[in-house]
Amino acid sequence: MSSKINLVIFSGSNKLIIDNILIKNLNFIANNININKYNIWYGGGTAGIMGIIPKRFSEISGQVFSVDSKQFIKNYDPLTYKPEFGISYVMDNFTMRQNKLVAHGDIYLCLPGGIGTISELFDVLVNNDVNNKNLDIIIYSYNDFFKNILDFIYDNIKSGYIRKKILDNIYVFNNEKDICDFLKNK
């Protein structure tokens, strides 16, 4: 591929988003990611908030790769399927989709989402912990979305169930400007 940094975005796709501030913030992030420095990888589609950053990044000529699963594409036909934007990989099932998505990241941006998003986040955390990777994870805790999950991690570090080193590569931000500054300085 290229020598660009692969930024993988994890985010929710099930919820219809009517939070105009969140949408504005995600577009701000997309507009401030350097298209010459980063590629974006994400889980495919445009439902929920999943496609907001990738779509806008593509519109400003950034390179976008989607990794989707056949089960999420209505009437999937490999001969006629065309993604709305970017280059698309369509996997046979959700597990293969998640594995490919996680495998392509140099850095991860975790946005609010559901079970799939949390599963992807924990896949990267496991890679950092068990497989001794040093993958940076940016957590956008918009409106303290990830507070309970972070509390779970902190509490279990204190009790000894989770190793403290897991925190070495987690960067938690509550606003979009700090995320952009972090990516700019990476």
Q: What is the pLDDT of residues 94-129, one digit of tens each?
A: 999 999 999 999 999 999 999 989 999 999 999 999
Least reliable range by pLDDT among 15-29, 30-44, 65-79, 165-179:
65-79
Residue 1 has pLDDT above 60, yes or no: no
Query: Could you give the count of Cα atoms lying within 13 Å of 75 in the half-sphere of its Cβ?
Result: 2
Residue range 5-184, CATH number: 3.40.50.450
Q: pLDDT tens, 129-146?
A: 999 999 999 999 999 999
> CB burial class (10 A; 0-12, 13-18, 19+) of residue 72?
middle
Q: Which residues pair with 137 in a beta bridge?
A: 108, 170
- Could you tell me the pLDDT band of residue 77, with boundaries at 50, 70 and 90? confident
Compute the mean pLDDT over every residue in the chain, rounded to the nearest whole number: 92
Query: What local confidence, expressed as pLDDT, does residue 2 receive?
Result: 57
Whether the Cβ atoms of residue 182 and residue 175 lie closer than 8 Å to each other: no
Q: Which residue in 81, 5, 80, 4 sits closest to 44, CA to CA?
A: 81
Residues 12-23 have a mean pLDDT of 82
Return the structure tokens found at 38.
Answer: 């980063």
Long-range pairs, 131-135, Cβ under 8 A, ≥24: 134/168, 134/169, 135/105, 135/106, 135/107, 135/108, 135/169
Residue 42 has pLDDT above 50, yes or no: yes
Domain positions in the chain are 5-184
